[in-house]
Structures are given as structure tokens and as C-alpha cells.
Structure 1
Amino acid sequence: MTDQPAITVDGHAIPLLGFGTWNLTPEVARTMVAEALRIGYRHIDTAWIYHNEAAVGDGIRDAIAAGHVAREDIWLTTKIWVAHFDREGLLNQARESVASLGFTPDLLLLHWPKAEPAWEETLGALNEAKDLGLTRTIGLSNFPSAEFRKAQSLSKARLVTNQVEYHPYLKLSKLKAAAKELGSAITAWSPLAQGAIADDPTLIEIGKAHGKTPGQVTLRWLIQQNVIAIPRTSKVSRAEENFDVFDFQLTEEEVDRIHALARPDGRLGDWIDPAFKWDEEWA
């Protein structure tokens, strides 16, 4: 890995700033992954359900061929879709993802919690995928804290992260506490609240004090919490802006002001299975 800020989990250094590819078409994903790696990103996130794993792999190869990066300096994440949570389905999709990417991912996540099949089967298969060399590490995505703990209790290997929606308008204290307790990390998807932070008066004011944009302030806020952030963009200029967050530091007072922006209706992507519910942070 490079000397960028990273969080070490179970002996693995995961860069705290990554590049997300949700909702990017294959053509755009290939271009933007290559550009992100040129800019300096060393963490790329995709998923089987994004339908762009092959393009992400092509973008990585483009960047390697251009001399911008070596494979061993990239942290590559993909995810198992919920339709593939049975043992055979999970292992087949893990093999498919390796073939599509053209690389073994560094991290393989369960994309959302699912009531069936039994979690023992799914977590067992996820561990088996790791044992078979289909991924270096394993983890979760979109698991509330109780389910996070249950999943770790059923997993032989450390679940190195739980990737969830997190930005200034959400309070995630219970999930962050669970991650710390379990020796894991939190990864933030939609860290810029899908652009909503751009017009926030508090973030604008803090940004002016540092010569930074609201987006840069938000990403810095996440990084200073040791939360991994994976902003997604289809614009090279925005990817460059998002990466320019390593030359300033927020004060404790500024961090607290951003935390105070959280609100009960702040969630943007509520696609969790009805069998589960998000942590209640507002009681």
C-alpha cells in the first residue's frame, strides 16, 4: 500500500479513502477507475449487482499498464448479492467475481442481511470462499449492530468491515461502537449524502476556514473518525477534489458541529430486508 492514511484491521491496512463505482455504467466505470488510480486512490469498491466488475478490472489493468500503480498497492472490494447466499450460490458468485475482475479481491462482503438461508450456511460459505483463495478478507454491508455481532459470532475469520450509509445527516454511534468492540471497521457509502452536503451552511462555513469545499470537509470528518469513505463520481475533476483532503485537519469543535447535523430522517437508502431494522439512534 501507499503512505496514505489507512486503518489496520486484522493485520490488513485498508486505505481510508476509496473510490466507489455504484451506478456507474461499464464504460464510465473503466475510465473512472483508471483515472482514480492515476489521481492516487488505492482503494476501489464494486459489487456483482453493479454489473461493472469486468469494467472495474479493465480500469485497474489500464492503470497498471500506464505505470500509475501496481496491483499489490490496490485494495479491491466486491460483494456477494443476496440471491447467492446459499453455499453453492455464494461460492459460484465468488468465482464469477474473480473471473470478471481478473483479480482476486482483497475483500468480499455480504451485500445486505438476509433472513434465509440460515446464517450459519452463509457465513460458513463466506469463510470457505476465503479459505479457497477467492478473497483475502471478508466482511459485511448494511448490517445493523445486533446482526453485525451475530455474524461475527458465526464467522471463523474476522469480518474486517461493515459497509453502510454514513454521512453528516446520520448518527451511527451504536454501529461504530459495535465495530470497535469487534475489532472491525466501518466503511461509508454515500459519504457525501448524494450531493446534499454541498449546500449545507455549516459545512460551507467550516470549509471556508480551511479553503476547502463542503465535500472535502465531509470526507475529512469521516477520515478523522477512522471511517473508510468511498465517494463515487463520474467526473474526473470531482474525483480529484475528493482526493484533496490530506493537507488539513478539522478541530474537535468542527467535528462536533458536523456530528450535530445528524437528524432522524437523514437516511437516503433504506433497502433493508423487513426482517431487520436499523439501530434506533434517537430514543
Structure 2
Amino acid sequence: MLRSSWVNLLFSFSFLLHNATLVEGNFFSRILSFGNDEEKPPQPSGARHATGAMGKVGSIIAFDKGILMAHLANNNRIPLIGVGVGNAPRHHVSSLVSEAVQDNKRIRLIDTSHASGNEELVAQGIIAGAERLGQDEKLEVHVVTKVWYTYLGYERTKISVEESLKSFEAAIQHPKVNLRLHVLLHWPKCFDNIEWMNCAGEEEAMDPKVKAAGPDPTKDPENAWKESWKYLEELYLSDKYPVESIGVSNFHLHDVEKMDRFARIHPHVLQVNLWNLLYDPMLVDYCHKHRIHLQVYNAMHGTVVNAGRAPHAFHHLQKVANDLTTSAGLPVTPAQVILAWLVQHGVSVIPRTSKLTRLEENSGVVLSAIPAMNDEQVEIVANAVEAYLSGEDMEKDIHVSVTFHAITHDIMLYWLGSDGSETRIDHIWKGETFDEVTYPNHRFRTYNAYNKDEYVDHVIDANFGEHKNIHVEL
């Protein structure tokens, strides 16, 4: 299967980490021939026909006090590495946020939403974390929150935002906290064709106060979000609250393009999933042209959390992880490879977790310590991610190559299954060798060809892409 070629990594991430100057962050934009603007982009299975093209994300990247920051079009900043707590269990939220901001993780971006109902818990976690740090200067923490589609329309959005601001008030006023807010529209509308959305039912369940404040957004879905945007513009321009930026989430290109005709302010931030980033090149190109910063949520969903979906792709990611582990001198996982790949292209990542171990693995401290990937590694990660999302695995697998040497006796070589079963592979004469391809941690057994009571078990402790010699002496 022919795979797309991706843009080279055009800035040196290692240079960035060791120099406090601003350097321009670059990103890719995939150029596909769709025919005309009304046609839909191809589905994932067709993405392999794309060609890579250079593009730049709309931001300047800086390494500031140990935190990777993106500078937005309005000259404000947003951290590149965050954590999503919108779906975290309520009893975990405050402790998770408090842990996230500690110096051993240095996560300064928290993603949530009004619909999650946990904004006050986020504020409590930020305060607790700042007090634990005990530093003299204020702790700068950025929070992304979002307006749910049932609150679309000027007056309804105003209610949603005012409730969010009230939830964050304690953190805004706290003497040890410098809270910076980024307010987004969560969706452009409620979609009847999305299975989990219940447009009529959710509207029916709305608080009577909200219903009375503004019309049902499902009655005029093409304009309700535009009225919401007008409110966000006023909020941002008022300087009454610490709103660093306004933006949108889950918006398609045709939605964002409409802002050209009515908006005073273009979105500063666009939050998308990984699928959009790879398969909506026109949206990425639009963001580049208008300096709209890209954030990716749920980057792990559909990729390495389900390694069996594309086992060849997973093996290639593991090989990149092993190589980066050697370079960095610290363990790097395939999940971290994907996150670092995005960050090194100037894209914010907000992986979700409720586990403290994962919080540290995906933290700013760890991800910023991963060396810059070379061109070949960037290409491998891009193709592997595409394989996961498209459901079409990479054609070529990657293995461990093993050479068995029969040193003292003729031997019989068997592969051992996880259940202890044996599969005969070959007879190796004394003084000869046999080459095999296998995977890390696979097990083999070599017997004396004439006495099965004499045998040795072998566990393959090499990594993908490596070669191992096994000298068998019985």
C-alpha cells in the first residue's frame, strides 16, 4: 500500500529546548485533489494517495521556564502540553490537577468544559497545587473550557460563560494563582446523525431559566453559534476577565470560513481530533493562513491504546520509541512518541487520564526531554498513525532478526507458544547457523538433537529492528 510522504521536521526541537529564544514552529498540511469545494474529503482508506506538503502552524514556539509555550495570533500564550479532565471521575479531578502542576510534571494546561460540571473542582485543584508548590511568584495555569451546544445563542452562551467564570472565581482571585482562560464553543450545533447526541431530549431537559433566556438553538442551527461567537468576542474584548483567547472545537472548514463574513475576531484556537488533523488538509491550511493554533484531543484513542488494530504500525512505533530511548537515556513509549511527534510540530496535546502514572508519562517534563525526531522517524510515525486511523495496517512489518549458532551439538529448534506448546522450526547441524525473524519477548527452545532431556530456553530480549546472536552450547 502506497503511503503518504510527510513534511520533514523543519525545526530542531533540541535547539529549542536548549535556547530560550523564539523559533518558528512548522507543521504539515496535506494537499489532496478533491475536485471542488463542495466535495467531501476522502475517507481514511483513501488517504494513502495524498502527498505531503509543507505548512506552518499559526504560532511561535518558545521554551519558557521549563514550559513549552505556543504564542497565539493575539500575542498571548498557551502551553503545548496539557491534560484533559472533562471525563475524569469527579473524585479524581482536584487531586489530578494538583499533581499535574507540580514541578516533576509541569503541566500548565488543563482542558475541561462547562458540560463536564467539574470546573469548580479544577479551580480547587489549581489552588491546592499552587499552595503545595509554595513558590513566591504566582503559578500561571491555563484552562480551556467550552460552551456546550445546548447553550448556543447569545444569551444562553452568556449564562454558560458566567457560570464557568463563577466556578473559576476562587482561582482567579487567589494570590498564588495567575489563571488564564481560553473559552471555546464546544460544537457548532447538535447533530442528529451523531448517535450519542439527543438534540430534542437535551433541549427538553434544559433548565427553564436557560430556555427563557434564549431560543432553542436547534431551531436555527446555522445561526445560533454565530450569536454565541458574538458574545465571546465581547467577552474577550472587555478585559474584565483573564480570557487569553477564544476559539472553537469540532468545527468543520465550512463553519470556520463563515467567520470571514461576520466575525470581528477569528478564533485563536481550534480544537480537533487526530482524524481531522490528518484527513482535513484544507482546514489545517486555513488555520495556517489565519494563524489559528491547533490543539488535538483524544490523540491516543484509536491508536496505540489498541495495538492489535494495526500490529505492523505498532511495531514500527516501538522501534522509534526504542531508538529515542537510546538517544534520551530515558524510557520512551509508543504513546509518548505520538504525543512528542505532535508537540514537535507545534500542536498542543491534551491527553486524557485519571491515572497519576500516565500523568507523569505524558507530562511536560517527560515529553520535552524526548529528542527531536529525524526525518525518517517523522515519516514512520506519520504512516503508523495513518494506519491506525484508516484501519489499513502498514504493509511491511518490522522484526527482530535472530541467528542461532549450534556450537557443541546438532540441535533442534522450537518456538514456544504462550501456552507452552512447541512448534518445530528446523534442525541445525553442529557448526552451522540458522536465521529467524521474530518479535521481542518471544521464546524459543533448543534441544540436543539426540537427547530431548538436554535443552536450553531462550527469551528474545532484543528490540524491533535489532539483530541478536544466540550461541547454543549444550
TM bucket, shorter chain = 0.7 to 0.9
Q: Please, which of 108, 111, 114 is the counterpart of residue 42 of structure 1?
A: 108
* CA shift for structure 1 position 59: 0.4
* CA shift for structure 1 position 246: 1.1
CA distance in 1 between partners of 2:125 and 2:81 (Å) = 18
Instruction: Report which stretch shifted further, 143-152 or 42-51.
Output: 143-152
State how 1:17-56 maps to structure 2 within 5 Å.
17-38=81-102, 39-56=105-122
CA distance in 1 between partners of 2:237 and 2:165 (Å) = 14
Alpha-carbon distance change, 232 to 58 in structure 1, aligned in 2, over 3 angstroms: same
CA distance in 2 between partners of 1:137 and 1:232 (Å) = 22
Q: What SS does structure 1 have at the residue aligned with 2:246?
A: strand
2:71 paired with 1:8: yes
Instruction: Report which stretch shifted further, 253-262 or 227-236.
Output: 253-262
Q: Which runs of 5+ in 2 are unaligned?
A: 1-63, 173-178, 190-220, 308-313, 326-331, 392-474
Letter in 2 for 1:251: N
State how 1:139-154 maps to structure 2 within 5 Å.
139-151=247-259, 153-154=261-262
Alpha-carbon distance change, 236 to 125 in structure 1, aligned in 2, over 3 angstroms: same
Q: Which residue number in structure 2 is paired with residue 280 of structure 1?
A: none
Alpha-carbon distance change, 153 to 64 in structure 1, aligned in 2, over 3 angstroms: farther
Alpha-carbon distance change, 263 to 48 in structure 1, aligned in 2, over 3 angstroms: same
Letter in 2 for 1:89: R
CA distance in 1 between partners of 2:302 and 2:155 (Å) = 35
Q: Which residue number in structure 2 is paired with residue 273 of structure 1?
A: none
CA distance in 2 between partners of 1:265 and 1:87 (Å) = 40
Q: Please, which of 159, 167, 171 is the counterpart of residue 279 of structure 2?
A: 171
Instruction: Report which stretch shifted further, 178-187 or 195-204.
Output: 195-204
Contact 2:67–2:106 at 8 Å: present in 1 too?
A: no
Alpha-carbon distance change, 64 to 175 in structure 1, aligned in 2, over 3 angstroms: same
CA distance in 2 between partners of 1:267 and 1:124 (Å) = 37
Q: Please, which of 154, 165, 181 is the counterpart of residue 106 of structure 1?
A: 181
Q: Please, which of 251, 254, 267 is the counterpart of residue 374 of structure 2?
A: 251
Alpha-carbon distance change, 178 to 264 in structure 1, aligned in 2, over 3 angstroms: farther
Q: Please, which of 205, 221, 228 is the counterpart of residue 319 of structure 2?
A: 205
Q: Which residue number in structure 1 is paired with residue 343 of structure 2?
A: 223
Structural RMSD (CA): 2.5
Letter in 2 for 1:127: E
Alpha-carbon distance change, 222 to 265 in structure 1, aligned in 2, over 3 angstroms: closer
Q: What SS does structure 2 have at the residue aligned with 1:193?
A: coil
In terms of fraction of residues, the more strand-rich structure is 2
* CA shift for structure 1 position 175: 2.4
Q: Which residue number in structure 2 is paired with residue 272 of structure 1?
A: none
Q: Which runs of 5+ in 1 are unaligned?
A: 269-283
Instruction: Report which stretch shifted further, 257-266 or 210-219.
Output: 257-266
Contact 1:108–1:137 at 8 Å: present in 2 too?
A: yes
Contact 1:23–1:50 at 8 Å: present in 2 too?
A: yes
Letter in 2 for 1:111: H
* Number of residues of Structure 1 aligned to a counterpart in Structure 2: 268
In terms of Rg, which structure is larger? 2
Moved segments of 4+, more than 4 Å: 68-72, 167-170, 262-265
Matched residues, percent identical? 26
Instruction: Report which stretch shifted further, 239-248 or 129-138.
Output: 129-138
Higher relative CO (Cα under 8 Å, sequence separation at least 6) belongs to 1
